[in-house]
Amino acid sequence: MTQVTSTAPSWHKDTFRRFSVAPMLDWTDRHCRTFHRIMSKEAVLYTEMITTGAIIHGKGDYLHFNQHEQPVALQLGGSNPDELAHCARLAAERGYAEINLNVGCPSDRVQNGRFGACLMAEPKLVAEGIAAMKAQTDIPVTVKTRIGIDEQDSYEFLLELIDANHEVGCDDFIIHARKAWLQGLSPKENREIPPLDYPRVYQLKQDYPNLHISINGGIKTIEECKHHLEHVDGVMIGREAYSNPYLLAQVDEALYGQSPFTLTRHEVAQQMLDYIDDEMREGARFWHVARHMLGLFQGMPGARGYRRHLSENGHKQDATAQTLVKALEFVS
């Protein structure tokens, strides 16, 4: 098979993925990415984890995204090298900027499907998948992983995964600085209970200086991002980018040296109005978009009224962009 050359724009290698928003199931869909892109032109935005089975056998277009969301990375869930290679080829044809393999999600569903965090115990299988994907495309193919699983949480255990994939040409790793318990903890608990071990990720970068290492887990402020970037190449923020999205308005200036962001929270919301109208004309419901905007005014006077109005009225059949306009009156 001929390798697919990416149609995605080329971003500067030294700064690409310095900051990214994590793939979050049921959250980081194209509406969320459109909203986030208004506030940061540089951040890499990830899809939700999409399984190879959904892409290959599903009825919907699971790879759809809008070009205004770029740079966008596709996160895949799967372990079959042939299926991963097929999906990588499709993703490259669609113009994704990166393909990422999920080796970190601890939910029962992914364990039953033999993908996610349980793959940490099968580094050779992961490497086979990475090699198969890289043979199909020239865009970056990356791995997102935990630092360990269950009782297998030594530094050496992590290195087995890193080494196996580095040998097949993977140079980009995103490390969630917690181990995962595959039994006994829910996905939510796995994001909070296992202790963070940032020094282990820093050590990985010291030991593998030629690899691009990004850190993920518990990061909430731009100052924390700056601190981590003294030790690693990139920072990935998850829940904080969703619950406090206006944080993204600081990213381009603080982490990329770009001009200050000038839009207010109100102006960000107003920029979404035409998008909401367009999407609703195509069959989307208002809440599909507006639910991602609940945290826009976090910490601001009137934020509770804004959230309440959207939450109580956004689900209604007759909700439109004007429902958002009305909610904004609470924070005028």
- Mean pLDDT across the chain, nearest whole number? 93
Report the C-alpha gap between 14 and 171 in whole angstroms.
14
* pLDDT surpassing 60 at residue 154: yes
Helix axes 273-281, 321-328, angle to 10 degrees: 160
Does residue 198 register a pLDDT over 70? yes
Distance CA 256, CA 171 (A): 22
Start and end residues for every CATH 3.20.20.70 domain found in the chain: 19-256
CATH topology of domain 265-331: Four Helix Bundle (Hemerythrin (Met), subunit A) (1.20.120)
Per-residue pLDDT at 50:
96
User: What pLDDT sits at residue 9?
Assistant: 44
Mean pLDDT of all residues in 80-84:
97
What lies within 8 Å, CB to CB, of 139 at 6+ separation is: 6, 8, 91, 92, 96, 97, 98, 99
pLDDT of residue 115: 77
Task: Kindly state the percentage of the chain with pLDDT values over 90.
Answer: 85
In the chain, where does the domain assigned CATH 1.20.120.1460 lie? 265-331
* pLDDT tens, residue by residue, 243-253: 999 999 999 99
- pLDDT-derived band at 10 (thresholds 50, 70, 90) equals very low
Q: Tell me the pairing of strands 72-77 and 98-103.
A: parallel
Average pLDDT over residues 159-177: 98
Query: pLDDT by residue (tens digit) across 111-140?
Result: 566 778 899 999 999 999 999 999 999 999
Structural contact between residues 98 and 21, judged by C-beta atoms closer than 8 angstroms: no
Give the pLDDT of residue 178: 96
CB atoms within 10 A of CB 270: 15
Q: Give me the CATH code for the 19-256 domain, please.
A: 3.20.20.70
Task: Select which of 32, 105, 118, 170 is catalytic.
Answer: 105
pLDDT band at 106 (very low <50, low <70, confident <90, very high): confident
> What pLDDT is stored for residue 192 in this prediction?
81
Catalytic, 225? Answer no
Return the residue matching tokens 């282990």: 200
